[in-house]
Structure 1
Amino acid sequence: MAEHPQRSAIRIGISGWRYAPWRGRFYPKDLPQDKELAYASHQVCTVEINGTFYSLQRPEFFAHWRDETPGGFVFAVKGPRFITHTLRLRNIDEPLANFFASGVLALHEKLGPFLWQLPPTLPWDAARIEPFLQMLPRDTEAAAALARRHGRRMAGRSLTETDARRPLRHAVEIRHPSFACPAFIAALRRHGVALVTADTAGKWPLLEDATADFAYVRLHGDKALYSSGYSDEAIADWARRIGAWSRGATPRGARLAGPRPRATGPRDVYCYFDNDIKVMAPRDARALMGALRLPMHPEAPGEGMPIADGQPVERE
Structure 2
Amino acid sequence: MSKPVIRVGIGGWNYPPWRGTFYPDKLPHARELEYAAQAFGAIEINATFYGRQSPASWAKWAAAVPDGFQFAIKGSRFCVTRPKLADAGEGVGNFLAQGLSVLGPKLGPLLWMLAARRQFDRDDIARFFDLLPRELDGLPLRHVIEPRHDSFRDDRFFDLCRAHDVAVVFGDDDEFPCLDADTASFAYARLQRMREDIATGYDDAALDAFAARAKRWQSAGRDAYLFMINGAKLRAPAAALALSQQLGIRPLISD
The reply to whether TM is greater than 0.5 is: yes
Tell me whether 1:129 sits opposite 2:125 in the alignment. yes
Give the paired residue count. Answer: 253
Q: Out of 262, 267, 273, which is 2:222 matched to?
A: 267
Q: In structure 2, what is the equivalent of residue 244 of structure 1?
A: 216
Of 175-184 and 288-297, the range deviating more from structure 2? 288-297
Q: Out of 30, 34, 59, which is 1:34 matched to?
A: 30
- Segments of 5+ residues of structure 1 without an aligned counterpart are 141-161, 249-265, 304-316
Tell me whether 1:7 sits opposite 2:9 in the alignment. no
Map residues 1-316 of structure 1 onto 2, 5 A cutoff.
7-86=3-82, 89-140=85-136, 162=137, 165-201=138-174, 203-221=175-193, 229-248=201-220, 266-275=221-230, 277-297=232-252, 300-301=253-254, 303=255
> Conserved in 2, the CA contact under 8 Å of 1:21 and 1:277?
no
Note the C-alpha offset of 1:23: 1.8
> In structure 1, what residue type is equivalent to 2:201?
G
Of 176-185 and 82-91, the range deviating more from structure 2? 82-91
> Conserved in 2, the CA contact under 8 Å of 1:26 and 1:279?
no
SS at 1:217 equivalent? strand
CA distance in 1 between counterparts of 2:87 and 2:233 reads 38
CA distance in 2 between counterparts of 1:91 and 1:6 reads 38
> In structure 2, what residue type is equivalent to 1:230?
Y
Of 86-95 and 119-128, the range deviating more from structure 2? 86-95
CA distance in 1 between counterparts of 2:151 and 2:87 reads 23
> In structure 2, what residue type is equivalent to 1:232?
D
- Segments of 5+ residues of structure 2 without an aligned counterpart are none
Q: Could you say which structure has the higher helix fraction?
A: 2
Note the C-alpha offset of 1:223: 6.5
CA distance in 1 between counterparts of 2:187 and 2:218 reads 8
> In structure 2, what residue type is equivalent to 1:186?
D
> Conserved in 1, the CA contact under 8 Å of 2:82 and 2:88?
no
Note the C-alpha offset of 1:24: 2.2
SS at 2:40 equivalent? coil
CA distance in 1 between counterparts of 2:63 and 2:2 reads 30
Note the C-alpha offset of 1:53: 0.8
Aligned Cα root-mean-square deviation (Å)? 1.9
> Conserved in 2, the CA contact under 8 Å of 1:44 and 1:286?
yes
Q: TM-score if structure 1 supplies the norm length?
A: 0.76
> Conserved in 1, the CA contact under 8 Å of 2:75 and 2:112?
yes
> Conserved in 2, the CA contact under 8 Å of 1:229 and 1:275?
no
* Aligned residues with identical type, % of pairs: 40
CA distance in 2 between counterparts of 1:209 and 1:136 reads 20
CA distance in 1 between counterparts of 2:24 and 2:84 reads 41
CA distance in 1 between counterparts of 2:88 and 2:59 reads 26
> Conserved in 1, the CA contact under 8 Å of 2:171 and 2:177?
yes
Question: Could you say which structure has the larger radius of gyration?
Answer: 1
Q: Flag as ranges the 4+ runs of structure 1 deviating above 3 A.
A: none
Note the C-alpha offset of 1:139: 1.2
SS at 2:145 equivalent? strand
Q: TM-score if structure 2 supplies the norm length?
A: 0.93
Note the C-alpha offset of 1:12: 0.5
> In structure 2, what residue type is equivalent to 1:100?
L
Task: Give the direction of change, closer, same or farther, for the CA distance of 1:46–1:236 in structure 2 (3 Å limit).
Answer: same
> In structure 1, what residue type is equivalent to 2:188?
Y
SS at 2:87 equivalent? coil
CA distance in 2 between counterparts of 1:214 and 1:170 reads 10
